[in-house]
Structure 1
Amino acid sequence: MNGRAKGVLAFMAILLGYFIALLDTTIVNIALPEMTRHFGGTVSEISWIMNGYNLAFAALILTASRLADQFGRKKVFIVGVVLFTLSSLLAGLSTSLGMLILFRTIQGLAGAIIVPVSIPLTTTTFPKEKHGMIIGLWGAIAGLAAASGPSLGGIITEKLNWQWIFYVNVPLGVLSIVLTLLFIKESRDESAGKRVDYAGMLSITAGMLLITYAFIKANDYGWNSGEFYALIGAGLLCIALFFFVQRRGKEPMLPLALLKIKEFNGTSLTLFIVGAALSNLAFLTSFFLTRVMGMTELKAGLVLSTMAAGSIVSSAVSGGLSNKYGSRWFGAIGAVIICGSLYSMSTLEADSSLVDVILRLFIAGIGVGLTMAPVMSAGIRHVPEEKVGIASGVINMAKSIGSVLGVAIIVTLLQQNIGGEMQTAQTRILEQVKGDTVLMPFVKEVLVGVVNEQGGQMKTGSDSEVQAEALTTKIMKGLEAAAAKLEPEQQKAFAATREGQIDEVKMLLTKAGSELKEASVKGFGQTFIYASFMSLPGIIFAWMSDKRRARKSSNKSADYESTEIA
């Protein structure tokens, strides 16, 4: 077998493990309703199928990077893929919701091992001149995994069943293990030593666990609640302890000199913002497509996957070019496109065409590819080669925390925006009912009572058409009950005009449905705008992620940092 073929198989070994770990962050979401029907349980309980994975992933990622640097990246990568493959099989075989959440959490732990180790394995397997191209392909796979999750999950759930969402990982994981054993060489950070920094690992794991949990529960506890502040405070205290331990330790897991490299900091902050932007885009768009435009979950997932096409193309191209021309322009332009795409989503209407949505998502994918691959490449390029492992851990941890924080903030904003618009719509509906000259007084009373009763539900962002049907059912039942209590003369008057009264009620309900849908569109539009503003700092951070090209010919800064870290 020639060297080119071995290189392809080595890269495939890494990408297979990386792909399944990232895919499982999104592929499960579309199957949650089916899992709810299978196991039962509340929405809060079912949400831990996602939360358990995200918590474990964010908490362990830096620790896994350090252990891989110390004891061998190939060895740790294989442990991660074995654990992920086994937990996927057991998740599919779960007989209770508790079992499924347990194995999803173990999947998260395994994913935290696989994802950060994949970068140093890649950079040590291929020569430096190919790093830009390889990381470009790595970014394309990342975009494909994230964007294709909803559609693959929908197809598998519809054509097979939800268990196969986990079973498909088994053959891919086994193939990754075999190829890794055959074609990947062992590598480690020779300067890292063998002493395990238990204090550092415990403090950073506890800190990330507490902060991630706080953001996951922020909307349940409330952003101003004592529980939220306590969790954030405890998490920050653990992180402060972590930096204290790193400063005083003889063999710290995170060499603090890395944080003096401006380009590395720029990369971490960029991917923190991009992580939040991607999560916000996927979350808001999926809800808009299903609740406002009325698509099925499967169709919405397929539409969302068009973002992967743009990401794959731009990642593959920009990764290699950024190695030659520098990353700051690619990253900054990509961040601008992401912000613009988020803003453009605010102009969608309930009756917008599929082409309008797909075009916006495709352009967003181009922005993602232009940003992630070049910025990641720059971050890795500006740290000493032996510190690529721990640097990858920091960068991926930043992206993971950005994703969790972004969704926590955007959920709150969406609820507030839709709640405000729905309240305004409800007021207009009540005014129309009270001012109607056709309806009899008791019909108005029934209509007003039902609308007021449904007011709270109208603020949740549920589909407006579903609400209109619920209102119709309640009103008709209410009219029958109220009519039975009328005086005989009033009953006769109602009977004589019954058809006209019902037609008028239906006409008002049609107007109400339009009002509610328009309110929902406005609420989503405002939230998309806020999400675009939240993404603006990514432009500045992307510009910081690389040096001017004129100065890049000399790598004195990186050499200096390498000496200082050593």
Structure 2
Amino acid sequence: MLSIVSVTTVASFITGLNARLAAVGFPVIVHELNCGIDEVIWIIQGFMVGSTIIQLIVGGLADIYGRVRLFNIGLLIFSLSGLGSGLATNAPLLTIFRIIQGIGAAFLMTLSITILTDNIPKNMLGTWLGLNQIAWRVGAIVGLTFSGIIIDYLGWRWIYLINFPIGIASYIWSLKSLKETYRPTSNRCLDRIGFILFTIFVMFLASSLTMMMNVKSWGYVIPIFFLISMISLAFFIIHERKSECRALDLSIFKIRQFSNGITTQFLYAIGFGSFITLLVIFIEVVRSYSASLTGMLLTPFELSFLIFGIVGGRLSDNFGFAPVATTGLLMASASLYMLSRLGMSASLEYLMTYVFLFGIGAGLFIAPNTSAIMTSIPPEKRGVASAIRTFSFNIGFLVSLNIAMLSLVSSTSYEIATKLIISEGHVENLNDVPLEKVYMGISNSFLMMAVIMSVALLLSAYQLKIKLLNRSEN
């Protein structure tokens, strides 16, 4: 069991490291590559797009070819694409490598949960899932702590290049330590048509949302892309219901605990997805602090997530997932609201306090909700269930990021927002670039995320009510 935990923990660590190394650096990357805010969004969301589109068949591939084998392939893809990202010479090339790295990360994130669920006793699963999330947060803390230093002294390319040696070392360790315990099902087919339809849906949805930030340039193309996205989604659902070889088993949504957990996580992801990006813009652009200081100011979030990720997993094992997850969502919603009311010149102490409280809420929610989703599904369908869990989060993340950036652009303009981020807030004439309007866009985004997180809270509270009623009847 320890060998399984060690490898999955390392995988979570390096994905967390990668996520936060890149988070702080995007204003510098925009400046160095001289790209627009729509290209910025694709650099940020390219990782999630790659991860999302492959999620649909990760479970099926793992069930056919073996979960450990696909896990190791994911490590290799993740490492090599990190090297490519660091060597990229323009924004489109960097985006392509980030999409490829997202594909590799999808194997790691999905299959680490599946491998743990297959091998850990149910009464200990919450604790070990919590540890898995904590490993991600430890990587994130390391990433935030050192990302600014790496950027300020070595340059932005090294936040990607560092993934290569760490990833290759992890790949070698996994080959030596991890053994396949699940017996692959050789007669299972892959839903290629479903995969193509779902890929079209995600790509055109992400593109249409990004284009909305620059309506002057894209105009009528936006509704066309959005319509193509929705039509693809409709055909995908119809295909999945009729096909005997389907990537997404819609019947598992009839399990109420699973469907409620997925819906709650999706809403949580919309509230959570743009959190770090908004804070980076606020600290580096509005307040004009360095990348190094930005990383340190965001560390309280990762620390609180780390600590209460452990607490959340243990509490869910002892008291059930519903009360712990509901408490976490309550704290996260309140923290987002307080950030929306923070004020442009508020002290850093207030900022760090609210960031810390948000980390507590997020930490309390993630492990219990993941445990609720995974334990509601029979073992033979957990590969697909884990993939659904991950891509529902990723789609929520994409929606969140684009809503936040759209709010930012609508408060100023596409040109001004791009100019601000490229200059990292250091502009000669502030009358031409009103930082107050940029802050208003950030504030409105936090308020919208708080409302969406509150909807997730209501759904979780409903689950808690059902659990309490069932307990009283028994």
Matched, 1:127 2:121: yes
Distance 1:121 1:71 in 2: 14
Question: Where does residue 358 of structure 2 map in the other structure?
Answer: 364
| Deviation readout 1:53-89 (Å, 9 max, x if unpaired) | 2322221112122211222110111111111112222
Distance 1:174 1:120 in 2: 22
TM-score if structure 1 supplies the norm length? 0.75
Distance 2:25 2:79 in 1: 19
Provide closer, same or farther for how the CA distance between residues 227 and 273 of structure 1 changes in structure 2, counting only shifts above 3 A: same
Matched, 1:470 2:388: no
In the alignment, residue 328 of structure 1 is paired with which amino acid?
Answer: A
Question: Where does residue 460 of structure 2 map in the other structure?
Answer: 542
Deviation larger for 90-99 or 202-211: 90-99
Distance 1:153 1:552 in 2: 48
- Pairwise CA distance, 1:460: 8.2
Matched, 1:528 2:446: yes
Question: Where does residue 387 of structure 2 map in the other structure?
Answer: 393
Q: Which residues in structure 2 correspond to 1:414-563 (within 5 Å)?
A: 414-417=408-411, 457=416, 469-470=428-429, 521-543=439-461, 548=467, 551=470
Distance 1:17 1:325 in 2: 29
Matched, 1:327 2:245: no
Checking the alignment, whether the CA contact within 8 Å between 2:145 and 2:295 is kept in structure 1 is: yes
Distance 1:57 1:103 in 2: 12
Matched, 1:140 2:137: no
Checking the alignment, whether the CA contact within 8 Å between 2:57 and 2:190 is kept in structure 1 is: no
Distance 1:192 1:323 in 2: 35
Question: Where does residue 156 of structure 1 map in the other structure?
Answer: 150
Distance 1:57 1:268 in 2: 17
Distance 2:472 2:153 in 1: 54
Checking the alignment, whether the CA contact within 8 Å between 1:125 and 1:184 is kept in structure 2 is: no
Checking the alignment, whether the CA contact within 8 Å between 2:326 and 2:365 is kept in structure 1 is: yes
Deviation larger for 83-92 or 40-49: 40-49
Distance 2:220 2:141 in 1: 36
Checking the alignment, whether the CA contact within 8 Å between 2:54 and 2:106 is kept in structure 1 is: yes
- Pairwise CA distance, 1:98: 4.9
Question: Where does residue 373 of structure 1 map in the other structure?
Answer: 367
In the alignment, residue 337 of structure 1 is paired with which amino acid?
Answer: M
Distance 2:35 2:403 in 1: 26
SS of the counterpart of 2:245?
coil
State the aligned residue count: 471
In the alignment, residue 548 of structure 1 is paired with which amino acid?
Answer: K
In the alignment, residue 21 of structure 1 is paired with which amino acid?
Answer: T
In the alignment, residue 9 of structure 2 is paired with which amino acid?
Answer: L
Distance 1:553 1:105 in 2: 49
Provide closer, same or farther for how the CA distance between residues 523 and 239 of structure 1 changes in structure 2, counting only shifts above 3 A: closer
Question: Where does residue 276 of structure 1 map in the other structure?
Answer: 270
SS of the counterpart of 2:129?
helix
Provide closer, same or farther for how the CA distance between residues 95 and 289 of structure 1 changes in structure 2, counting only shifts above 3 A: closer
Matched, 1:53 2:12: no
Question: Where does residue 501 of structure 1 map in the other structure?
Answer: none
Matched, 1:305 2:299: yes
Checking the alignment, whether the CA contact within 8 Å between 2:85 and 2:98 is kept in structure 1 is: yes
Question: Where does residue 482 of structure 1 map in the other structure?
Answer: none
Distance 2:40 2:444 in 1: 29
SS of the counterpart of 1:217?
helix
In the alignment, residue 76 of structure 1 is paired with which amino acid?
Answer: L
Q: Which residues in structure 2 correspond to 1:34-53 (within 5 Å)?
A: 34-36=28-30, 38-42=32-36, 44-45=38-39, 47-53=41-47
In the alignment, residue 538 of structure 1 is paired with which amino acid?
Answer: A
Matched, 1:66 2:60: yes
| Runs of 5+ consecutive residues of structure 1 not aligned to the other structure | 1-6, 420-455, 475-512, 555-566
- Pairwise CA distance, 1:162: 2.4
> Paired residue for 2:228, among 234, 243, 261?
234
In the alignment, residue 276 of structure 1 is paired with which amino acid?
Answer: I
Provide closer, same or farther for how the CA distance between residues 127 and 351 of structure 1 changes in structure 2, counting only shifts above 3 A: same
Distance 2:191 2:205 in 1: 21
Distance 2:416 2:193 in 1: 48
Matched, 1:251 2:245: yes
Provide closer, same or farther for how the CA distance between residues 238 and 86 of structure 1 changes in structure 2, counting only shifts above 3 A: same
SS of the counterpart of 2:152?
helix
Question: Where does residue 81 of structure 1 map in the other structure?
Answer: 75
Checking the alignment, whether the CA contact within 8 Å between 1:66 and 1:389 is kept in structure 2 is: yes
> Paired residue for 1:384, among 378, 384, 400?
378
- Pairwise CA distance, 1:380: 0.6
Question: Where does residue 430 of structure 1 map in the other structure?
Answer: none
SS of the counterpart of 2:21?
coil
Checking the alignment, whether the CA contact within 8 Å between 2:55 and 2:387 is kept in structure 1 is: yes
Tell me the C-alpha RMSD between the 2 structures.
Answer: 3.3
In the alignment, residue 456 of structure 2 is paired with which amino acid?
Answer: G
Checking the alignment, whether the CA contact within 8 Å between 2:37 and 2:417 is kept in structure 1 is: no
| Runs of 5+ consecutive residues of structure 2 not aligned to the other structure | none
- Pairwise CA distance, 1:267: 1.5
Q: Which residues in structure 2 correspond to 1:392-411 (within 5 Å)?
A: 392-411=386-405
In the alignment, residue 15 of structure 1 is paired with which amino acid?
Answer: T
Checking the alignment, whether the CA contact within 8 Å between 2:38 and 2:213 is kept in structure 1 is: no
In the alignment, residue 346 of structure 1 is paired with which amino acid?
Answer: S
The higher radius of gyration belongs to: 1
Checking the alignment, whether the CA contact within 8 Å between 1:267 and 1:375 is kept in structure 2 is: yes
| Deviation readout 1:283-310 (Å, 9 max, x if unpaired) | 2222222233332232122211210111
In the alignment, residue 528 of structure 1 is paired with which amino acid?
Answer: F
